[in-house]
Chain A
Amino acid sequence: MKLTYNWLKDFVEIKISPQALADKLTMAGLEVTSLEERGGDFVFEIEITSNRPDCLSVIGIAREVAAITGKKLREARGPQPKVQRKNKKVCGLSNIDYRPFSINIEDKADCPLYTAKIIKGVKIAPSPDWLRARLELIGKRCVNNIVDITNYILFAFGEPLHAFDLDKLSWERISIRRAKKEEKIVAIDGTEKSLDPGILVIADKNLPIAIAGIMGGKAVEVTLDTKNILLEAAVFNPLLTRRARRKLGMQTDSSYRFERGVDPETAISASWQAVKLIQELTGGKIALAKASGVTKTKSRSVDLSASSAAKLLGIEIAPARVKRILSDLGFKPKAKSKNKFSVIVPEYRQDVALEQDLIEEIARIYGYESIAKTLPLFKPCISEEKTIGQVSLVKNTLVGLGLNEAITYSLIDRNLLSGFSMRDFGKPIEILNPKSQEQEILRPTAIPSLCARVAYNLNQKQEYINLFEISRAFLNSSSVPAEELLLSIALCGVKSYALSRGIIREEAGLLNLKGITEALFENLGIKDFDFKGESGYVGIYVKKEKIGIMLQLEKSALEALDIKNKDVFVLEASLDRVFSASQLKKSFSLLPKYPGIYRDISFIIKESATIKEILRAMKEKGGLLLVEAKVGDYYKGKQIPAGFRGLTVSCLYRSDERTLTEPEINPLHAAVSNVLTGLFGAKIR
């Protein structure tokens, strides 16, 4: 809402500077978003919240200024026409035309009030300078005196008016009705609009002449040759206006106000203000004034007690002060007892319905800044939301392992999934109203989004990309979409490790993902897990249940992401399932009491024998005394024949009951070694 300093002064005495006024308005809830000095005046732009349609006018803001600064409002009284009762003739129509004139409201719920005034003999011309200046300062284009006056009244009083060229109407019967199916109207902006019964129109005897509360028709607009006008001032249903505005895609100053609510009292008084100006500036004379509908709403009152205000705000405000603030704002507080009031709400304050609403009025004029800061006495809750702590643990573990956290959009273009066939994603959940193709579905997986970020980083010439994301995936599996918390990891490129003997570079691979998973499980207290090669990917199992997969990205996916000459390795795991298996409770096991004996075995073995098989066979043979058998080294190279690899397994023998001796261990270790030769044909080195 734009208005000027001088325009405000029409309605209220202002003794403070425009900047000081702007600050005060802002701190009373009317945020001044800009203040500019222009044409000898100051232009304020004020953000009006949707609950305050009464402030979408200069007089509305003047009322606030009056309350804030403690000045009286200069109620701009309209001209006092001799007759202003509804449905009465004001003065005879000219001798040209004696048609009867009627207003028919089809449904009072759609249009609680419609008033029409016939003004004859207007002379269309440009508006006087003062009027043009005001409208131009607030950014409105001036058209002609009649249109400018209706705009001026709209901004001054908040009541949208419309003037029709009377001679272009079959005006004897004005109807406010729903549009008929397939009815059309060409609006003043020149666009043809198709109407339907959801849209309210103003019609003359034959045709729609305006879309109610939004825009008039082109065919009946005021032009340079207009002599007589019909001036409309009405109240239209906010919801209906809103729906029509959305359906037709036309937001106007008029629809903006009707959608938020205009009160009958304002409509009536503003229309007389307009008549006054039209008579003064265009030479027209009012010929007839008619109204139909409710002209006054029942007054409402809300109870207020000073003690509930004190309880809600945390400060005591004297009843006298409370009374003064409310009166300044146009409320009528009546004392019921020492600190209880019955407050009559003015008609233009449709937003005030509860005691809390009144308390806010008091607080904002009293000043939020005058309310103290306190800290509540509060009994804190001890229990902790489990998942949040676990998610933090996972994130911190991964960051500790050198990974970087990414956050990508949960809404994606469905084409992003193409090329990814690692699992069946089901039918994705579609968005009803996406703004672009990039928002058309809720993603069932984060892997493609993460890989797209890998591609982006490759384009930025990053050597090693290691990203992870923890986010929800959305599954269309049941009637209500399910959300699953997923961990997604993508690795790509060459990682450099600084060692004392030099920097080594190594390409990322599946074993990196395995190592990350193992570290994660260790931190989550998960011991029972396994990795199994399956078709196209490696399954990650926890307690025999598959909780995720890891794989090298297939060619189709790489092509879809335009990744060339690089391999990408990804992991996707359901954190919901991981967390249900995690054991964060820690307990201590006694450290070994007796020393152990270490023995290494080096051997050459067929590559077809997996580490898992080899270690399992060794442990079986070693029995309880072989407490640990782990890979100490592995190598392939010149000395090793093709199809074989060299391995060193470190064995730890230990007993909980005694110190083992060499004579006891030597034969056992020999037997363990023999398993390798016997079962796998290994050659001990």
Chain B
Amino acid sequence: MDIESIKAQIDADIKNVNSFQALEDFRTRYMGRKGAIAQLTATIPALPPQERGAFGQKVNALKTKLLSLVEEKQKSISSGSLETPKETVDITMPGIAQELGHLHPITQIINEICAIFIRMGFSVVEGPEVETEFNNFTGLNIPLEHPSRDAFDTFYLKGHEKLLLRSHTSPVQVRAMKSRRPPLAIVVPGRVYRPDAVDASHLFMFHQIEGFMVDKGIKFSDLKGILEVFAKGVFGEDISMRFRPHFFPFTEPSAEVDISCIICKGKGCSVCGQKGWLEILGSGMIHPNVFKHVGYNPKVYTGFAFGMGIERIAMLKYGINDIRAFFENDLRFLKQF
């Protein structure tokens, strides 16, 4: 092919170049390793010596022209592409991305609660789900045969004497205090088991989060302060809270903690049983007998402990009315969180 027809071809081709990809194809076609310029150059040695100079100049001129065409086109594509797209995109088409997965709402609540306590200097610790009777009861000052145990009806293992499925996360208090020394500030999330009859608010397996702090000079007023940070962190700055005296074998004094109903703001509704308050956790100052069991001197150390049901917090926060929904694992449920 002679230079002139190549030139005509170039002029025709460049008009059809509308994208960077097309421009790259164009460049390769003419200036690539096997492109037109390379082929023309390759013919030079075969020409009579007197023609070589002029031909070479023409090839060079062509090369220069190509370079400037490519450069020009590059500019026009990059500046013009936004203003006058060749192909308009229907932006209402489905977007292209990997579909997101979802953490279980229970995990999300645990993460949220742990994060608040971690900011206050607590560490997260876990413990086994199969526990000894001692850690689950005796070490926590819960007599083995006493009405105070009725709240902790428990699954026992067949063929393993004195082993059970923990009925609360509190045994980790005993474990952690035995294996470490104060100061301690620990939160413990995990599964717990109770042979309860199943209904919309009871299950035989659920999650709790336990927290405790032990050091010299830890006071009931500290418990109030820490739990206020927690409750406001989870339920919002505008809630109010109250501490009601209660009884737990492993704390003395003990308190149940209510927050103002997050649905009715304390006016009274069906969620709070018209009371205006929602009970969210149990707490208190660690009982001296618990300290004695783990070998701490109750005259030297004091501490507080608290515990709450994760499902209950999640139900309140997300407005879920049946605890069983958490374990059905319906994807349409999971994907809402």
Contacts and interface: CB of A to CB of B under 8 A. Distances in A.
A314 B219 contact: yes
B191 A442 contact: no
Contacts of B328: 453, 456
A435 interface: yes
Nearest to A387: B126
B85 to A, nearest CB: 14
Interface stretch (A49-57, A87-95, A134-142, A204-212): A49-57
Given A27-B242, A385-B124, A406 B195 contact: no
Given A399-B102, A472-B129, A369 B124 contact: no
Nearest to B114: A388
A379 B120 CA distance: 10
Contacts of A238: 146
Contacts of A439: 155, 195, 204
A119 interface: no
Interface residues of B, number: 85
Contacts of A364: 245, 253
Contacts of A460: 330-332
B167 interface: no
B219 A354 contact: no
Given A405-B103, A431-B157, A376 B222 contact: yes
B229 to A, nearest CB: 8
A474 to B, nearest CB: 7
Nearest to A32: B275
A360 B165 CA distance: 31
Interface string B84-122: 000000000011111111111011000100000000111
A387 B125 CA distance: 9
B287 interface: yes
B246 interface: yes
A433 B154 CA distance: 8
Interface in B133-166: 145-148, 150-151, 155-160, 163, 165
Nearest to B253: A360
Given A356-B285, A434-B195, A315 B98 contact: no
A238 B148 CA distance: 12
Contacts of B224: 368, 371-374
Nearest to A239: B145
B255 interface: yes
B225 A481 contact: no
Nearest to B158: A430
A381 interface: yes
B334 A405 contact: yes
B334 A409 contact: no
A400 interface: yes
A211 to B, nearest CB: 18
B280 interface: no
A375 B205 contact: no
Contact of A429 (B160, B213, B329, B332): B160
Contact of B253 (A31, A363, A395): A363
A671 to B, nearest CB: 22
A465 B236 CA distance: 35
Given A49-B246, A376-B225, A407-B329, A499 B96 contact: yes
A399 B103 contact: yes
A397 to B, nearest CB: 10
B128 to A, nearest CB: 6
Nearest to A403: B101
Contacts of A377: 217
B221 A372 contact: yes
Nearest to A371: B221
B309 to A, nearest CB: 14
A383 interface: yes
Contacts of B285: 312, 356
B221 A354 contact: no
Contacts of B107: 395, 405, 407
A259 interface: yes
Given A359-B253, A406-B329, A460-B331, A50 B146 contact: yes
Nearest to B132: A480
A243 to B, nearest CB: 7
Interface in A269-303: none
A354 B125 CA distance: 31
Interface in A81-125: none
A126 interface: no
B244 A474 contact: no
B100 A402 contact: yes
B221 A314 contact: yes
A398 to B, nearest CB: 6
A465 B146 CA distance: 47
A242 interface: yes
Contact of B121 (A49, A381, A384): A381
Interface in B201-238: 204-205, 213, 215, 217-222, 224-226, 228-229
A275 to B, nearest CB: 30
A633 B287 CA distance: 67
B215 A407 contact: no
Given A314-B221, A431-B155, A503 B94 contact: yes
B195 A388 contact: no
Contacts of B326: 407
A457 interface: yes
A383 B121 CA distance: 11
A383 B222 CA distance: 23
Contact of A29 (B213, B218, B244): B244
Contact of B213 (A354, A373, A378, A462): A378
Contacts of A363: 220, 245, 253
A481 B130 contact: yes
Interface string A568-592: 0000000000000000000000000
B296 interface: no
A405 to B, nearest CB: 4
Contacts of A242: 145-147
B204 A405 contact: no
B155 A368 contact: no
A27 B258 CA distance: 11
A115 B113 CA distance: 56
Contacts of A433: 155-156, 195
Contacts of B95: 498
Contact of A373 (B193, B225, B244): B225
Interface in A230-253: 238-239, 242-243
A96 to B, nearest CB: 44
Interface in A593-624: none
B106 A407 contact: yes
A384 B331 CA distance: 33
Given A371-B221, A378-B213, A385-B123, A483 B102 contact: no
Contacts of A359: 252-253
A650 interface: no
Contacts of A315: 221
Contacts of A402: 98-101
Nearest to A389: B124
Contacts of B147: 50, 242, 259-260
B252 A52 contact: no
Contacts of A658: none
B288 interface: yes
Contacts of A27: 242, 244-245
Counting from the closest, the 3 A-B pairs by CB-CB distance are A314-B221, A380-B121, A29-B245
16 contacts: A31-B244, A49-B247, A242-B146, A313-B221, A315-B221, A369-B242, A372-B221, A378-B183, A381-B184, A399-B102, A405-B102, A407-B104, A409-B205, A432-B158, A434-B155, A439-B155
Given A27-B245, A29-B247, A406-B329, 19 more contacts: A27-B244, A29-B244, A49-B246, A242-B145, A259-B147, A313-B220, A363-B220, A375-B225, A380-B123, A381-B123, A385-B126, A400-B101, A402-B99, A404-B331, A410-B205, A430-B158, A472-B129, A480-B130, A500-B96
